[in-house]
Structure 1
Amino acid sequence: MMNVIYTILCRDIDAQLSFYQAMFGWQEATRYRSPIFRALQADNLLFGFHAPMARTLLNLEDASVGVPGDGGFPTIEMPCFEEVDATAARVGTLNGTLVKAPFVTYYGQWQAVLRDPEQNLFRTASLHLPPGIIASPITF
């Protein structure tokens, strides 16, 4: 079995852990807890948060913290479009930001674009579209 570990550099790892835990209901993976790292576990995903001190340890002194899209961003796939809608509705109450309200992508996902309290981008998406919504191919 393969697991995915996605880690973001943060200013406040405890606040970030609390935000994502409230957004998605994931449990803390306490075996990874250290002074410079926190993580949440969801199925085959470990979602981690590195404190600024970790940048030196990882030789990432030049890496940006809180720069939207710096180094990529995660997409959390939800089981249904209603959960994408719910995360979009909930993000502001947790001091995050809704960047783009739920919409249908050209590749057939129901998706929302959000930022956490430190301005890191992330998306929620579902392969299940709301009734009556059809994806339209995009022309480049």
Structure 2
Amino acid sequence: MTISLSFTSLLVAEPDRSVAFYADVFGLPEVASLASPHFRGLRIGPTVLGFSGPKAYELLHLTEPAPGSVGVDTFLTFEAASIEEVDELTDRATAHGATVLAPPAETYYGAWQAVLADPDGHVFRINHLRLDD
């Protein structure tokens, strides 16, 4: 089994503004195949620096924080080599104390993905997605 960090994502008010800022400051190329009304991403080595809009709270089965309060705003995505590995790693994570927020299923952009919280409450995804760019 080979695992890599495929995405690190920030939950932001305006993904277009955030992607423009980081692309301009660091000269990072956009991953055009991932662009949607809810998400934009930049390539930074083998990882995508993602910017998810407010709709991500619903899509990830997370509670959106009240204005002025602190909530989930960052999450890691671990890339598995297959759908079966996503399922296996989800089972392994829950056996070690993780809580499943969204069970393994196909996303609107074609990934097979589970969303979990570790025993300290940090949110992460276990994902299988093939990117062309």
TM-score after normalising by structure 1: 0.44
Q: Which has the larger radius of gyration?
A: 1
Higher relative contact order (CA 8 A, sep 6+): 2
TM-score after normalising by structure 2: 0.46
